[in-house]
Amino acid sequence: MVNVDVVNGNEAKEEWNRFLNESENASFASLFNWKAIYEEVFGFKTFYLLIKDDKKIRGILPLVLIKSPLIGKGSFLISTPYLTQSGLCLNGISFDPTPVINTLSKLIKECGAKYAEIRQIVPFMSDNLFTRKDNFTFRLNLSHGAERLWNGFSPKMRNHIRKAQKSGIEIITGKDQYFINGFYQVFSKRMKELSFPAYPKSYIEAIIKNFDNNSRIILAMHKEKIIGGMLLISLKETLSFPYAATLVEYNHLCPNNLMYWEAIQQGAREGFSILDMGRSHEGSSTYQFKKQWGASAVQLYYQYLFSEKEKGDKERFFNMEKSPLFGIYSFVWQRLPTPFANLIGGYLVKQLHIA
Residue 153 sits in the same domain as residue 62: no
On average, the pLDDT of the chain sits at 91
Asked if residue 95 and residue 148 are part of one domain, the reply reads no
| Same domain (yes/no): 62, 203 | no
Whether residues 70 and 6 share a domain: the answer is: yes
Identify whether residues 295 and 307 lie together within a single domain: no
pLDDT at residue 15 tops 80: yes
Does 99 share its domain with 199?
Answer: no
Tell me if 60 is assigned to some domain: yes
Is the residue at 24 inside a domain?
yes
For residues 205 and 106, membership in a common domain is answered with: no
195 and 52 together in one domain: no
**How do residues 273-323 score in pLDDT, each as one tens digit?**
999 999 999 889 999 999 999 999 999 999 999 998 887 766 666 666 655
Q: Are 45 and 103 in contact (CB under 8 A)?
A: no
pLDDT in tens, 151-164: 999 999 999 999 99
Predicted structure pTM score = 0.93
Instruction: Confirm whether 325 is domain-assigned.
Output: no
pLDDT given for residue 329 in this prediction: 65
The tens digit of pLDDT for each residue in 172-189 reads 999 999 999 999 999 999
Structural domain includes residue 339: no
Residues 240 and 102 in one domain: no
Give a yes or no: residue 163 inside a domain: yes
Residues 143, 235: Cα–Cα separation, whole Å: 16
- How far is Cα 348 from Cα 275, in angstroms, rounded to an integer? 31
Q: Do 95 and 201 belong to one domain? A: no
Over pLDDT 70: what percentage of the chain?
A: 94
Q: What is the mean pLDDT of residues 254-262?
A: 98
Q: What is the DSSP code string of 22-74?
A: T-TT--GGGSTHHHHHHHHHH--EEEEEEEEETTEEEEEEEEEEEEETTTTSE
Domain coverage including residue 93 = 2-133+300-318
Q: Is the peptide bond before 286 cis (omega within 30 degrees of 0)?
A: no
Q: What angle do CA 348, 354, 355 make, to 5 degrees?
A: 70
Residue 153 lies in a domain: yes
Residues 62 and 158 in one domain: no
Q: Cα–Cα distances in Å, from 311 out to 68, 292, 306, 316?
A: 19, 39, 6, 11
Same domain, 152 and 83: no
CATH number at 13 reads 3.40.630.30
346 occurs within a structural domain: no
Q: What is the DSSP letter of 310?
A: G
- Whether 40 maps to a domain, the answer reads yes
The answer, yes or no, to whether residue 350 has pLDDT greater than 90, is no
pLDDT for residue 352? 80
pLDDT tens, position by position, 71-93: 777 899 999 899 998 988 887 66
Which residues is 32 bridged to in the sheet? none
Number of domains in the chain: 2
Span 198-211, average pLDDT = 95
pLDDT tens profile 95-139: 778 889 999 999 999 999 999 999 999 888 888 999 999 999 999
Question: If pLDDT is split at 50, 70 and 90, which confidence band does 344 have?
Answer: confident
Q: pLDDT-based confidence at 326, cuts 50/70/90? A: low
Q: Is the dihedral of CA 291, 153, 122, 13 positive or negative?
A: negative
